[in-house]
Each structure stands twice: as structure tokens, then as C-alpha cells.
Structure 1
Amino acid sequence: MRNIFLVFMLSIALMACKQGDLESTYIPRSLVEGEDFNAFSKTKDEVLTIVDSDSSNREKGNLVTVKFRDTTVFIKNKQSLLSTAFSQAKFLNSQKTAVLVQAEKKLSQAPFYIIALNNGKVEIIDLAISSKGKDDYKFANGIEALSLSSFVLNNDYLIKTVNGKVYPIKRQNPEERIHGKFFMFSNDKSTLVFVTANSLYQVNYFTGETFNLPISPKMFNQKEVIYSQIQQNFSWKKNAKGTLFLKHNPDEDRIVDIKEFKH
């Protein structure tokens, strides 16, 4: 009987230790301008892993968790909402020391975070920017791929997975998300063009320079019409600082190779 009691107590102790090692909750911080997420691990186990969740709730879809060594990462935001699993996760570098995750949807919120290792410790970076624009949710399109190694996030960030760089995209109005659809970028891939209700809003994510080109709303009825109009009437031109922006052609007869625009 005594042996059974000792085994029982030992089992409880082991379970307690195991539970204590299984999870850790972190509070997100803001993104620091110019920082990157391309850290190299000092040891083989100093990496993050993406693990399929064993959740049986099929309505939530396929969820994943992120672990550092044997510890699962939980995130608690400013509203005290706890994220224990994520609807998607994407490594931001080949070293697997930074992961972009989207929180499981709760109360109509599905924010994005970066889980990153900094000197062997886990940090959480909040990628939410305050926004008060009407219908802003319509332009929170999540991840929109530009190439195999870069994408736009919610019209607010350009992220490169080659070097783990995150560039905030300057808004037309600081109080609201860019109310447009990403359309193209310049041939040096640094100026992004968004189609809004009545203009082509252009922003260079390196310099923060912007240029808004008013366009007739009739031009935006069909995507093929937009490409055709741009091919015939617009071209990329450098400003005084050497930054490329799409502008009207002085010569309306000039035909621009469509390859200059498509990505």
C-alpha cells in the first residue's frame, strides 16, 4: 500500500513538473523601427518549431502552436485575450528564429504577431496599428504575396523573409488603414502601388515617400482595363531623390511594356 502511495505521489510530482515546462505566456511589445528578425541561433536547440495543434474543434480549422524547445508559446494582448494556438504560422528566416503568426480568431479579432528569439529569449512583437477608419476591416487582407520571399500584411507592412525585415507602409491617413488593393510595385520593387476608389496611392517603403495619382473611377471597372490604361498612359519616373513613382506619360503615344508593372 505504501509503495502504491509513493508511486501515486511521484506521478503527481512528475505531471506538475511537466505542466510547468509545457507553456509560457508573453506580453507583446511594439515594433522598433529598423529592427530585423534574422538572428542566428547559438546552439542547435535555440530555434522555434511550428507544431500542428491536436484541437478537436473542427470549426476552428487547422490550428498550430509554436514552441521554443519543449515550451509552448502563449500570447496575452492588451485586452487580456490569450492566444494559445494560431490559424497560420510562417517562418521569417531560414534559421527558424522568427515566426509570423495569426492569432486564432476571437471576438472578431485575428491579430498578427512575430514570435522571435533574441539572445536565447522569446519576444513577441505586435503588428497591430491603431486604426479608426470606416470599413477598415475590409482592407485587412492578411498576407498578400508579392514574390516567393516578400509579402504585404494588412496593407500596413511589407515583410521580407530573406532577411527577416519588416517595413511599415506609410498610410494616406495615419488614422486609417490604406483603403485600397495592392496592385503592383516599381521595377526596383521599392515603391508599392495601391488602387483606391479614385487614385493610385504610391508609397516607397524604404524612404517613406508617397505620391497620390488621381485617376477616374471609370478606369477601375475591370482589372484588364487598368492594366491596359497604365500600359498606354503611364510610366515609372524618378523624382529628385531618385525614387520611382508611376506618372502620366507626356507622350500619349508611348507604349510601355506590361512586364514593367506585373509582379
Structure 2
Amino acid sequence: MKTTLICFSGTGNSYYIAKRLCEELGDCQILMVPNLMHGDPIELTEQVGFVFPVYKGFPPNLVVHFIQEVFAKQDLSPIKYLFLVATRYMFQAYTFQAMDVVLKEAGALASYVNHVVMPDGYVPLLHAPTDEKIDALYAKAEEKIALIAKDVQSEAIHLPFRPPLSRLVINHLMEPVHRAFMDTALDFVVTDACTSCGLCYRMCPSANIDMVDGKPVFDRACTGCLGCYHRCPTQAIVFKQKVKEGRYPNPKSTYDQEYRV
């Protein structure tokens, strides 16, 4: 049975999980959300999975927008089994409940949810992970990937626990959290270390960066992934305010997606 994985990834964690799941499942394809938002064709197969990170207890705004603006307009009848896999470090909070609400509004229903603990690169709150931490979490992730692949192959049913007041929290908190993330890039400055390579422009999943006189300029449509911050080859993108230490370019993920030329 063919599987389609719809993936959003900022620093590469979710991409790695999607790639490894595809290898385990066999007949599988990965479609990246930014490309689908820009008009790439969508092939919906009998099995469809969403693979994405958790951002402050909710799915990323770009994933929600994709479901509302693109996925909901597709012919969903080929889908027989829909599943969700979230990558997170500390907690998933209302992520699966929010996805459940958004998917139901689009005319779909997930039969299986699970999460994989991965390194966290959100330096406004946490130090970038050490190599030892990265190695340990990736090793544990391999065990979880094998379990999830086995569940998907058998089309297991695994529904999320619904915390109290879920719908109230989703209705009143998800949008403000997303709005706050949209201004994340306004906290960046670009130092003289910038070589005008344009990688940040090409890899930004929300097309929030323009190159002006060879330097990146940030708009207010950020998704908060911090991919540009972590992947800048010269570390020229820095925060205006002091944040935790370190960068997480995540070479283990082999994530090198670029969405513009």
C-alpha cells in the first residue's frame, strides 16, 4: 500500500523522521508543505501521514494554513488511513487536539497519532543541544520510528488523550501563539559576517525573507522555525536580545531543503 507523508520541518528533525518512516514503510513519498503551498501537485494515496514539529504546544501555523487552504480543497476520498507524527522535545500539549479540530473542518479524521522526542533548537528558551544529547535522542528516535512504522503498516488505531478544556484552549490560544511566531524574525539582526550567500532566502519555508542589497530582510510572516538562524553558514543571523547559547544546524538529518531559487 502506498503512503504519502506530508512534512513540515524547520531544522530537519521532522524531515529526518519522515525520511526514515518512508524507508521503513517501503512504497512511500514525502511531500514538503512549503512546496505544496506554492502549488506543487498533491497525490493523496490510501495512507496519508502528517509529520511536523510541535511549536509551543501547537502545530506550526504553516501546517494549519496548509490544511485549511490547500488540503481541504483536495479530493480526500482516496485516503483510507490518516495518521499524525509530531516531533517534540518537552511536551506536545494541545498539538494533536488542534490538528483533530483543523482536520475535521477540512473533512478528514486521523486514526493514529504518535510523537518522537528530538533535540530542541528553540534558543529563546533552551540552550542548543550538545552532540551527546543529539546522539542519544537520535538513537532513541530510531526505536520509536520502527514502532510507528509497524503501527502504520498494520493500520493501528491510536487516538490522543483529550486534556480538559481542549477546545477552549485551542479556540483562544492557538491563534495568538501563531501570531506571536509570525513576528519572530523581527528579533533578528544580520551582522557583517553575512556573505550574501542567500541560503536563508532560499530555505525559508514561509518565504519571509527577501534579499536587499545582498542582505536578508525579514517580514512579518515567520513560522518561527529558526531554520535560517541555525543553518546560516557564517552564523551572521543573530538575535537582538540575549538568548541561550549554541546553534543546531542538525547535519544528522541531512535536511537541505530549499524552496526558492
TM-score interval for Structure 1 and Structure 2 normalised by the shorter chain: under 0.3
Greater share of strand? 1
Give TM-score, length-normalised by structure 2: 0.21
Give TM-score, length-normalised by structure 1: 0.21
